[in-house]
Amino acid sequence: MKVDLFSIGPFTVHGYGLMIGIGVLCCIFMGMRRAGKYKMREEAVIDIALFGLLAGFIGAKLLYILVEFETFLKDPISVIGSEGFVVYGGISAGVAAAIIYCRVKKDVFLEYFDLLSPCIALAQGFGRIGCFMAGCCYGRETDSFLGVVFPPDSLAPSGVKLLPTQLFSSAGDFAIMGILLWHYRRRRHVGDTGFLYMLLYGVGRFFLEMLRNDERGNVGSMSTSQFISLFIVTAALFLLLRNKRMPEIAAAAEKTAGQTKECGERGADDGADV
Mean pLDDT of 32-55: 92
pTM over 0.85: no
pLDDT tens sequence across 89-132? 888 898 999 999 999 999 999 999 999 999 999 999 999 999 99
Confidence band for 247, pLDDT divided at 50, 70 and 90? low
Most confidently modeled range among 102-111, 132-141, 166-175: 166-175
Confidence band for 224, pLDDT divided at 50, 70 and 90? confident
The radius of gyration of the chain from alpha carbons, rounded to an integer in Å, stands at 24
Q: Residue 1, Cβ neighbours under 10 Å: how many?
A: 17
Backbone angles phi, psi at 7, to 5 degrees: -130, 145
With residues binned 3-state (H G I as helix, E B as strand, rest as coil), the percentages for the chain, rounded to 5, are 70, 5, 20
